[in-house]
Amino acid sequence: MVALAVGLLLSLFASALLLAAHANYAHQADAADMEDAGRYAIHALTAAVRQTAWQDWSLQADTDEYAPAPLAGLDDRTLPRTQEAIANPSPASVNGSDVLAVRFHAAADGSAMNCAGVQVNDDAHAWSVFYVARAADGEGELLCKYRGTHSWSADAIVRGVDSFQVLYGVDTDNPRDGIPNRYLAATQIAAADTLLPLEGDTPEERARDLNRKTMWKRVVVLRVALLMHGTGRIRREGAAGQYDLFGPDYAGASDPGTRIDEATLPAALRLRERRVFAGAVMLRNQPW
Distance separating alpha carbons of residues 126 and 196, to the nearest angstrom: 28
Residue 278 lies in a domain: yes
Residue 71 lies in a domain: yes
pLDDT digits (tens, 9 = 90+) for 207-258: 999 989 999 999 999 999 999 999 876 666 666 789 999 998 886 568 999 9
Quickly state the pLDDT bin for 177 (edges 50, 70, 90): confident
- Phi, psi (rounded to 5 degrees) for 262: -60, -25
Residue 287 lies in a domain: no
215 Cβ contact list (under 8 Å, min separation 6)? 170, 184, 189, 192, 193, 196
Which pairs from 17-26 meet CB under 8 Å and 24+ separation?
Answer: 23/234, 26/232, 26/234
Q: Is the dihedral of CA 7, 9, 11, 17 positive or negative?
A: negative
Residue 93 lies in a domain: yes
Say if residue 60's pLDDT is above 70. no
Residue 3 lies in a domain: no
Average pLDDT over residues 75-86: 94
Domain extent, residue 160, equals: 9-282
Share of the chain above pLDDT 70, in %: 80
User: What pLDDT, on the 0 to 100 scale, is given for residue 40?
Assistant: 94
Domain count, the chain: 1
Quickly state the pLDDT bin for 11 (edges 50, 70, 90): low
Distance separating alpha carbons of residues 74 and 99, to the nearest angstrom: 5
Distance separating alpha carbons of residues 218 and 242, to the nearest angstrom: 33
Residue 33 lies in a domain: yes
Question: Contact, 222 vs 164, CB < 8 A?
Answer: no
Residue 173 lies in a domain: yes
Residue 4 lies in a domain: no
